[in-house]
Amino acid sequence: MIKPLSAALALALALALALALAVPALPGAAAAPSRPAAAGALVLKIGSVAPSRSPWDKALQQVANDWERLSNGTVQVKIYPGGIAGSEQDMIRKMRLGVLQGGVLSSMGLAKIEHSVMVLCLPFLFHAREEFNAVFDDMKPSFEASIERQGFKMMLWTLAGWVNFFSKTPVLEPDDLKKLKINVTADFPEIEQVWKRMGYEAVAGENSDLMIELQSGAVTALYLPALLAGSGQYFALAPHMLAPSLAPLVGGLVLSDKAWASVPAELRQTFEDAVSRAARGLYDETMRLEADALKMMRDNGLVVHEPSAEAMAKWREAADRAIQGLLGPVFSKEVYDQVVGRVRDYRRSHGQ
C-alpha cells in the first residue's frame, strides 16, 4: 500500500503537476481574495498554474501585497491560481488580448511565447545541477530579451524540479527504451517526429489521459519531474526510474509589455526588487520537496537504476542525435550554440 503524503508535501507536489501539465482549473480553486480596487487604480490580473497556498502561490501573493504597498494602493493585483484562468495557451491568448495582464507559466508555456526556451529542456545537456544554475544565470538576459521581443516582460524565473525517465520495465540504455511506448507532448509535433525518426515508439496524447494510457498499456514509459511522478501516483504503474536527470523544468511569471508599460516608471525598479525578494529560497524549497518526493516513492516500491559509464555515453550520443533533429524546427542553432558554449566554459573553469 502506498503511504499517504503529508498535507504540505501533497500540496507542493500538486504545483509540480500543474506546472508540468498546465492543467485546467483545480477542484475548488477560486480567485485569491483581494480588496476592491480603489477608484482610478491600475488593476493587474494574473493567472497562475500554481495551486492556492502552495509555496509558489505564496511568493506570488507576497509580490502582489508588496506592489500594492509600494504604490500606496495605486496598483492592485488580482491573482487567479490553480489554472482557473485557463490553460497556459489560454492565458497567453488572454494576455495578448488584455483580458489578463500576467501569467505564471511552465517551460512549455514559455516556449509557446519564445521557442528558444526549449533549449533548457534538452536531455542530458547539463551534467550537474550546479552547471545548469551557472549557465542559466548567464543566459537569462538573452532569454528575457527574446521574450520581450514577443511582447512580454519576464518578471520571475522559477524551477519546478528535474525530469527523469519512468518506465514499467527497467531502462538502462537507449535500446531498452526502444522496446517501450513513450508518452510525448502533443504541443510540439516536431518532438514526436524526432523520437520516431530515431526508432522509438512515441505516443502523443493529452496529459489528462496519461494515467488511463498507463493502465491500458498504451504508454509504458514517460519522462516527468519526480514531483509529478509522486503527486500523480504515476510511479505506481511505472516503478522504474533512470537515476540521471534528463533536464530541468523551469517556469516563471510574465507580464504583457502593455501591462508593464502601464506601471508608473518610478515604481518599476522597486517592483522588480520586490519580485527578487519573493523569489529567494524558492529554488532550495523546490529541491527539498523533490528529495521528499523521491524518498516517498522509494519507500513505496520505486526502483532507481544507475547506468554504467558506457550506458551514459550511449544516452548522451542518442541525445545529441535528437538535438540535431530539433535545430531549426523548434529552436535556432545560434541559441543552442550559445548555451553549449557556456556549458563548455563552465566545465573548463571547473577542470572538467
What is the DSSP annotation of 63-127?
Answer: HHHHHHHHTTTSEEEEEE-TTTT--HHHHHHHHHHTS-SEEEEEHHHHHHH-GGGGGGG-TTS-S
Q: Is the pLDDT of residue 103 over 50?
A: yes
Measuring CA to CA, how many Å separate 157 from each of 21, 68, 145?
A: 18, 21, 14
| Cell 524526432 belongs to residue | 194
User: Following DSSP, what letter does each residue of 20-81 receive, concatenated?
Assistant: HH--SPPTT--PPP-PPPPTT-EEEEEEESSPTTSHHHHHHHHHHHHHHHHTTTSEEEEEE-
C-alpha cell at 308: 554504467
Percent share of the chain, pLDDT over 90: 54
Q: Is the pLDDT of residue 349 over 80?
A: yes
Q: Is the pLDDT of residue 31 over 60?
A: no
Residue 65's contacts (CB-CB under 8 Å, 6 or more residues apart) are none
Each residue of 258-289: pLDDT tens digit? 999 999 999 999 999 999 988 887 878 888 88
Band the pLDDT of 39: cuts 50, 70, 90.
Answer: low
Rounded-to-integer distance, Cα 184 and Cα 222, Å: 7
Q: Which domains does the chain have, with CATH numbers?
A: 7-349 (3.40.190.170)
For position 279, what pLDDT does the model report? 85
Name the residue with higher pLDDT: 34 or 7. 34
**What is the dihedral angle through the alpha carbons of 237, 195, 143, 276, rounded to the nearest 10 degrees?**
10
Each residue of 43-73: pLDDT tens digit? 999 998 777 777 778 889 999 999 999 999 9
Each residue of 335-346: pLDDT tens digit? 999 999 999 999
For position 8, what pLDDT does the model report? 33
- Among 93, 8, 14, 16, CA closest to 47: 93
For position 21, what pLDDT does the model report? 36
Residues 38 and 72 sit within 8 Å (Cβ to Cβ): no
For position 20, what pLDDT does the model report? 39
Pairing of strands 152-167, 102-106: unpaired
Q: What is the mean pLDDT of residues 26-40?
A: 50
